[in-house]
Amino acid sequence: MAILVQFVVGLIFGLGLIVSGMSNPAKVLNFLDIGGISAGTWDASLAFVMAGAIAVTFIGFNRVLRRARPFFAERFYLPTRRDIDPRIIAGPAIFGIGWGLAGFCPGPALTALGFGSVSAVIFVAAMSAGMVLARFIARLPSLTRFVTPADPLET
């Protein structure tokens, strides 16, 4: 049952990315190009998409966290760390730079793969290589005191 629910939620999420235009890198880049405001080429529609996503997430988290436990797990796995380490700074910075350069972030890129988008294939390949490289770098002996691999149960 859990897999079926995950599949349906994933389909709804992917459909939302397609309908909203998030899987179209040109639309995303026009949103991120705030220099286009004066020229009239800035596309503000994704701001409304993001506001809607934040509202749905806010309501969803408030409702779900009132439960004693999740539907398909023994307990909630919520972040407990409060410190700021280099990964907290570097990760979002790299994410933002990649999003601004390519017009893709992971979810929309995977959705665009379904359309046969060559740029999505290149992005997903580069993203996968970056994930492998990050795990490799985190395991280097000289860096283990600065950067450690993320533990999903710890974060």
Per-residue pLDDT for the chain (155 aa), expressed as one digit of tens each? Answer: 889 999 999 999 999 999 998 899 999 999 999 888 888 889 999 999 999 999 999 999 999 999 999 988 899 988 888 888 888 888 899 889 988 999 999 999 999 998 899 999 999 999 999 889 888 887 877 655 555 556 655 55
**Is 151 inside a domain boundary?**
no
**Is 154 inside a domain boundary?**
no
DSSP 91-150: HHHHHHHHHHHHS--HHHHHHHHTTT-HHHHHHHHHHHHHHHHHHHHHT-GGGTTT----
Task: Give the pLDDT score at 14.
Answer: 92
CA atoms within 13 A on the CB side of 41: 10
Q: Quick one: how far is CA 17 from the chain centroid? A: 12
**Is 153 inside a domain boundary?**
no
Task: Give the pLDDT score at 141.
Answer: 75
**Is 40 inside a domain boundary?**
yes
Task: Give the pLDDT score at 113.
Answer: 92
Map tokens 């009239």 to a residue: 40
Domain extent for 64: 2-143
Helix (H, G, I), strand (E, B) or coil at 47: helix
Using an 8 Å Cβ cutoff, are 91 and 155 in contact? Answer: no
Map tokens 């290149």 to a residue: 122
| Residue type at 55 in one-letter notation | A
Task: Domain count for the chain, please give it.
Answer: 1
Q: What span, in angstroms and rounded, lies between the C-alpha atoms of 29 and 104?
A: 9
**Is 152 inside a domain boundary?**
no
Token reading at 80: 């407990």
Task: Give the pLDDT score at 148.
Answer: 59
**Is 20 inside a domain boundary?**
yes
Q: Is 79 left (phi over 0), alpha (psi -120 to 50) or beta?
A: beta
Predicted TM-score of the model (pTM): 0.73
Q: What span, in angstroms and rounded, lies between the C-alpha atoms of 131 and 155?
A: 17
Q: What span, in angstroms and rounded, lies between the C-alpha atoms of 86 and 9?
A: 32
